[in-house]
Structure 1
């Protein structure tokens, strides 16, 4: 964050802590004693072990230096922003709420001097902070894309008792540039249990990921436990529940948590959890294990929950947690499915090299009905196929000799592009598909893949659905929505109710775009508990492939190897499985750490179960 200016420059003092391998920077950047201010440019990304600490204000520092130092202190790894508060008056420090929000700008905030109220006395200054907004992280640590101009005012006063300049008025929360945000913050999934969804095929509880951003080098374990106890974020709360009793917190006086050398984490709770039974307690511990699994270098393998008096409430290991709840990906799969050159549904083992795909058992693999797209249930027992012209949807068993009945759904769209989308199965065994008929475009749900199609309400949908993918948890849905020639990827919340007559009422609520920077989205697929892979392009740009979080954020350096001419993409919520795509080269596969590998020339519509 090298802000330039006149006068001598302040040196950086480096201290190396040999035991932990962390470099402590006693200043985020050199700062001017006087002169004009320039933007607090985002620092380059640094090694994950490097921790950055800020300088306190220098004696007799000028107003420009105070503002610069404060803004840089916001990007440090100071746990409670103690150094940043040294730049404030006592009253301003009491009123300032740094955890209210974090505003992310394209570059660091640019301070511009304003007119002062007391130009004659010269005992106050004001600066306007400007920049271009990219995102905002709210008080629940939930990320949301943002755009437009940022403006905030920082006012300084000359304190009479000390003769030092200090900030006496400032915006609530913190503000920083994109690079500093990526260095400071880490995206982590909290895990809750999906509520009001059909029972999964395994009969286990289903988890749903709730991504939040926490400061990655400021005791993230304690931060994530604290956030998990608070419950789901506002967007997810209507369809997710926690096993922790309301108002459960860490025991008073517990300020830091860390796993021991056996990767066991002990969590003392307050009295709200004292009377919890063992069954509920193990569900609570499972939530913690899922949440903390990848947060530390070695992970957390076991959790012990304790009552307020210090006695053990329950303990749970990682293997036991998997038996309590699943991530709703169904049984593990190594098969990749697609439509071959004869318009049949075929499958190929993910580890196969040089082997030809084989038709699936049952009528959909026999070629009696020519297909253009298909979806495989998560237990790989049933498949749904869309006819080659897009007008009909068939559901059949993946068992040798199984016959295929009449179509379960028809579309009257005038062209192939105006008919049925590729269907999608949720974790409860329900089948989703969109009919793109311009005269009656709609989203439909077939419970257990059969019966009368249920029209799903989409009250805030602005456009026509071009693609549908339901998350394994059954409470989130991804849609490619077309409007006025532009397409966007939107995430919605699935809410279910049962009417008085016993019929189901299903709605998609609070749809929001997670790719506002893309003008065209060609294809997408779920690629993790809270991640999707997206193919699209920015305005005036070329086609690109990237990973996008469900909150709209992108993780640095996570884009797949580039591939041209991609029309369809398939990924699994199991992130260990390769990407599969249909491109100008046919069906291709991308394994971790490898290049794209051609599977076969004649084939389209690749899918994993789901």
Structure 2
């Protein structure tokens, strides 16, 4: 127990309970305007077919034009309705029609568009209005209040959103490549009120609709344009052999076997993230029910950026003497630190920051107070090579960032020289460094840290601007290959807009990050975030005085962190365990 220090309040949002279901009730007879508004807001949180109950609070015209599937606006808490007085009469409206306006207010957390893409928001105030009118009841004996003008889409509190939606990954192919890239979206946990599809079918249909707008320029779908599920398909399920049969419309009838395998791979990876469904193979079917092709789990490696089988759970760190050290796992409880082979393990170069190639044969290290980047073998002894990149920044913090490898074998690093800031790409980790096009990298923006995704399509960036360090995800677009390739990082998206500062970041899966940072007015914590900015359901035990955190692309591997007490690791289901007395820069391959 701590015996000193300040006490600070922690704001917590009630977590949505997936076991709770809301069954909306229709408006009662002669309900007053406030009751109509509150009843409609409550009915939007349910999932009855086509939101039929919610539409009963609307006029016939409003019920026809309201499109709940168009967008979802997520507020930190339930919207607060306040009566704003009589509404201005529309031109041509009957003179005896009474109208009222209610203002809806709250704090926006995120929006979800019609492609199911989640977009987190910073401190944004929500202010919209809905208008009510009096109309004759069905029997014509009296008047009833109904809503005749309202914002399009759904309006939900954060807890209601978490109760109704889940994050899933769709998968598409990196442009011109043979491996898949995760594209996170949010779909309904149960039956979708508009389409009537169950969760699995919604996910497959979302895949067929195409990638989210942000990822679209960097990926391709192997499904022919217009491909959809066969008409009236609302439920997909596996058979007794764990085979998922997917009936498609006639747009896919004539694809060849190789294209069909790639289409099946997209579905197999996508449904594999649905933990409630066990799928061992996918069978695509023509519009007449005949089989197009079958793809099994044992063939997934053909479509991965890193096809190496087995779990990579060996982390690395830099020890107190500047030597690159491998944490060889003896058992789940113990590890054995070992210096790597080559100049980075012998002390020929005092390593400051490091990135280990994904094949674990080479490493890239920054040394000489951030001036030099070298690549050398960590499997055999060798001479210290010449630097591939050299920085002329005036101070160590103005020089080279920690490097990062992508799944294509290319090496990335930032030169933070204030006179000439640049993001660099070293093709294959051996070629001549080329400057990446970065229209957002101005004199006032500084790259603190960068981490490439395994697929090489996305880059996580810690950027400092005006004294604040934020976490951004950029899209990597490339032209050409090898030494002639030209890369651009564009369309940066804020991942953690509510965080006051971000100290460390690492990829922790196809679309998940582990982040060390601090909420506004809160304490430093290690937490998981999806790359679209939504919170992960997984929690991480607290850890004091953390400086850096690292995770493997395989989510089964333990987290590793550098703290004041040394290097520690976290296995699932246990607490943090010390593994080395002193050290820095913990990393997994990549």
TM-score norm. by structure 2 comes to: 0.91
Q: Distance in 1 between matches of 2:289 and 2:336?
A: 60
CA deviation map 1:28-64 (0-9, x unaligned):
xxxxxxxxxxxxxx99545434432211222332222
Corresponding residue number in structure 2 for 1:152: 128
Worse-matched range after superposition: 56-65 or 309-318: 56-65
Matched, 1:208 2:190: no
For residue 105 of structure 2, give the secondary structure of its aligned residue in structure 1.
strand
Aligned pairs (5 A) from 1:188-587: 188-196=168-176, 205-218=178-191, 219-320=198-299, 322-326=300-304, 328=306, 330=308, 332-352=311-331, 353-461=333-441, 463-498=445-480, 503-556=484-537, 558-587=538-567
Corresponding residue number in structure 1 for 2:149: 169
Q: 1:430 to 1:593 in 2, by over 3 A?
A: same
Q: Distance in 1 between matches of 2:243 and 2:370?
A: 53
Q: Distance in 2 between matches of 1:187 and 1:385?
A: 36
- Contact persistence 2:97–2:133 (CA under 8 A): no
Root-mean-square deviation (Å): 2.1
Q: Distance in 2 between matches of 1:160 and 1:267?
A: 48
For residue 262 of structure 2, give the secondary structure of its aligned residue in structure 1.
helix
Question: Can you give the 5+ residue segments of structure 1 that lack an aligned partner in the other structure?
Answer: 1-41, 198-204
Corresponding residue number in structure 2 for 1:78: 48
Q: Distance in 1 between matches of 2:164 and 2:249?
A: 30
Cα deviation, residue 301, structure 1: 2.2
Cα deviation, residue 341, structure 1: 2.0
Matched, 1:91 2:61: yes
- Contact persistence 2:169–2:273 (CA under 8 A): no
Q: Distance in 1 between matches of 2:400 and 2:307?
A: 25
For residue 292 of structure 1, give the secondary structure of its aligned residue in structure 2.
helix
Q: Distance in 1 between matches of 2:415 and 2:88?
A: 66
For residue 288 of structure 1, give the secondary structure of its aligned residue in structure 2.
helix
Q: Distance in 1 between matches of 2:228 and 2:277?
A: 25
Matched, 1:142 2:124: no
Cα deviation, residue 431, structure 1: 0.3
For residue 164 of structure 1, give the secondary structure of its aligned residue in structure 2.
strand
Q: Distance in 2 between matches of 1:585 and 1:161?
A: 72
- Contact persistence 1:196–1:496 (CA under 8 A): no
Q: Distance in 1 between matches of 2:114 and 2:430?
A: 43
Q: Distance in 1 between matches of 2:337 and 2:570?
A: 17
Cα deviation, residue 284, structure 1: 1.0
For residue 371 of structure 1, give the secondary structure of its aligned residue in structure 2.
coil
Q: Distance in 1 between matches of 2:261 and 2:458?
A: 25
- Contact persistence 1:547–1:559 (CA under 8 A): yes
Cα deviation, residue 108, structure 1: 0.7
